[in-house]
Amino acid sequence: MSDASKLLTAAANNLAPRRAEEFLPRRFLRNGHLQTLVGNFLPRQYVLPEPEAHVVEVDHGKVDPGKSIPGQDALWPGDSMAPERFAEAAAAAHARGASYVLCHCHWQANAGQCLTVLLVHGLEGSSRSQYVLGNSARAWAAGCNVVRMNMRNCGGTENLSPTLYHSGLSADVAAVMRRLAAEKLLSAFALIGYSMGGNVVLKLAGELGKYTPDYLKAVVGVSPAMDLAVSADALHSLSNRVYEWKFLAGLRRRFRVKAELFPAIYSTDGLERIATLRQFDDQITARYSGFRGADDYYHRASSSRVAAQIGVPTLILHALDDPFIRMLPSTREALLANRRVELIETTHGGHCAFLAPRAAGYDGYWAEKLLLDFLLSVTKP
């Protein structure tokens, strides 16, 4: 038995989730790999209005002391959805190293009175990832505003930031909430993050702790990568190599684009010799993002470090047959001890899938239904 398997077995035997939730996998999909693959590629249809595109500054970059630049809590003059923002943001990214993220937003007619659901995608995902669109359509139909946030460089925005994106950028989510709350007079946010995005929103919740702003009402992490080191190592196991290759292909492709856009910052020398995600994080992510190496990055960016400080109603969904996301016993223990956290672990479900049998009026996307029910229940007046 592998070390990762031993961890899972020990966790399942020694610690039970606070609330048991029955999940019945769809027929022929009791295998974690099948759940993961089918959940990722199964065609879906979504009912959503056309989004408004908002470009939000999340990092001011190098500011000239002689110039007036808005402070962290100030607004950049003008509307974040103005067409000229794209050109202005790209220019600022090159001129002063500022970073921006692109959000696709769907506003209800009475936006200020509605819950705003902000979704954060996983590694090499975007605002158009299937699970993002699926959750968005449900939340919209339930009367919520929806913000589909692209992390830095994702969704075709490599020119809007001179930096890379990584699992530690929880402050970007805080900046988006702060900006949109002020601009749209929003009073209630709920965060949903999948995989890497799950780690990001949970990390933010833990970092905010007792200083959580009044408008952040709830957080959900689905298959969150809370323990980055052990999960990165699990990704390199033989049975998971196909996932690692897919992630690496996307990361290499994106890094080449960044090197072309910002040649003074990035070099592709040795890029093709990188064969694992850990090597990429050690030689690329850590090197260009201010970490001492992969281990330092994994430690500082893992939300497990601050799980005990989460102070808002939080739901975490994790399948024990997830092919590569691992949750350490110490992390599980911290979550179970936190009264604000509902940890639901299922025997089946794969990675970000949780496909259940379809029924009349139910498409079988169990996690999406469960998390929306949770958000509506904990945020109702």
Q: Rounded distance, CA 244 to CA 343, Å?
A: 27
Alpha helices by DSSP H, listed for 185-323, are 196-208, 228-235, 241-261, 277-280, 286-289, 294-301
Q: Phi, psi (5° rounding) for residue 295?
A: -60, -40
Q: Rounded distance, CA 42 to CA 292, Å?
A: 40
Listed in sequence order, the residues at least 6 apart from 192 whose beta carbon sits closer than 8 Å to its beta carbon are: 117, 118, 119, 120, 135, 201, 219, 220, 222, 371, 375
pTM of the predicted model, to two decimals?
Answer: 0.91
343 forms beta bridges with: 316
What is the structure's pLDDT at 85?
83
If we measure between CA atoms, which residue out of 264, 282, 265 comes closest to residue 273? 282
HSE-CB for 162 with a 13 A CA cutoff: 17
Residue 166 Cα to chain centre, angstroms: 10
CB 238 within 8 A of CB 333: no
What is the structure's pLDDT at 63?
52
3-class secondary structure, 166? coil
Cβ neighbours around 46 below 10 Å, total: 13
Task: Determine which helix (DSSP H) or strand (DSSP E) holds 379, and give its type and residue range.
Answer: helix 366-379
Name the E strands within the chain: 52-59, 99-106, 116-120, 145-149, 189-194, 216-222, 314-319, 341-346
- Residue 151 burial (CB < 10 Å; 0-12/13-18/19+)? buried
Sign of CA dihedral 74, 79, 80, 86: negative
Q: What is the pLDDT along the chain (381 residues), one digit of tens a residue?
A: 444 444 444 444 444 454 445 899 999 999 999 999 999 999 999 999 999 999 999 999 875 544 433 333 333 444 566 567 888 899 999 999 999 999 999 999 999 999 999 999 999 999 999 999 999 999 999 999 999 999 999 999 999 999 999 999 999 999 999 999 999 999 999 999 999 999 999 999 999 999 999 999 999 999 999 999 999 999 999 999 999 999 999 999 999 999 999 999 999 999 999 999 999 999 999 999 999 999 999 999 999 999 999 999 999 999 999 999 999 999 999 999 999 999 999 999 999 999 999 998 899 999 999 999 999 999 987
CA quadruple 100, 134, 225, 288: dihedral, nearest 10: -20
What is the structure's pLDDT at 83?
66
